[in-house]
Structure 1
């Protein structure tokens, strides 16, 4: 598997983990020290991975068997660093996420998520 494919696989893991409230998938996709940052409900939200996962688990997950909306618009990989722009839906809202990933011990993991909530 190429690095680009492995990065995209991590993004799929994240989006599906979010859509189906899969805590294990989200913990695998995100580094334990990652940050999730953006404007939400008229305030800057700056969450740790575990705070983000807790917020996801409070929402109603997508029904089993549904295909979550995900549009990967760009992937840039340079050595052990990668950047991805992806648009996805969660809990009836559409987001554009800018994900920074780092290859640690041979595995790609999200170290930062900067998001925009569409209105």
Structure 2
């Protein structure tokens, strides 16, 4: 009975802590990825949320090879795009978060990446809590087929 009572007392604390970690992960993704990389091209936000060893791992369906794209290339691409006048009128990207999970100092987030109402990608981000702060360390993704194109 004492164990059951102790469990009943500790469970809400555990759930609260888990919810706080989910919020912290979402906040770093919103700042570093959504704002820093995608919508603003903000170097400070990128540097604050991405680990320097971050890589995107992509899969080439034509040849079956996996490729890497390090953060320093992705960051430069985002900053170049942010200064391109032709990109100024692009509709902003928004994220939906079907799934965030945390085990200790490791986190995983599934993100649906939309421009307007169009789902473009599903991303899977891996995070580590480094010195008390969540850092995005890797990304794999699925590009959703363009329904407007004829294949």
Q: TM-score range by the shorter chain?
A: 0.7 to 0.9
TM-score (norm 2): 0.66
**Could you say which structure has the higher helix fraction?**
2
Say yes or no: does 1:15 pair with 2:34.
yes
CA RMSD of aligned residues (A): 2.8
The aligned counterpart of 2:102 is 77
* Greater RCO, CA 8 A, separation 6+: 1
> Does the CA-based 8 Å contact 2:125-2:140 persist in structure 1?
yes
Q: By how many angstroms is 1:67 displaced?
A: 5.6
Select the structure of larger CA radius of gyration.
2
SS in 2 for 1:69: strand
Say yes or no: does 1:94 pair with 2:116.
no
> Does the CA-based 8 Å contact 1:98-1:115 persist in structure 2?
yes
SS in 1 for 2:41: coil
Provide the aligned length of Structure 1 versus Structure 2: 117
CA distance in 2, matches of 1:23, 1:95: 23
**Could you say which structure has the higher strand fraction?**
1
Gaps of 5+ in 2: 1-16, 146-151
The aligned counterpart of 2:54 is 34
Task: Rate the CA distance shift 1:5–1:83 in 2: closer, same or farther, 3 A.
Answer: same
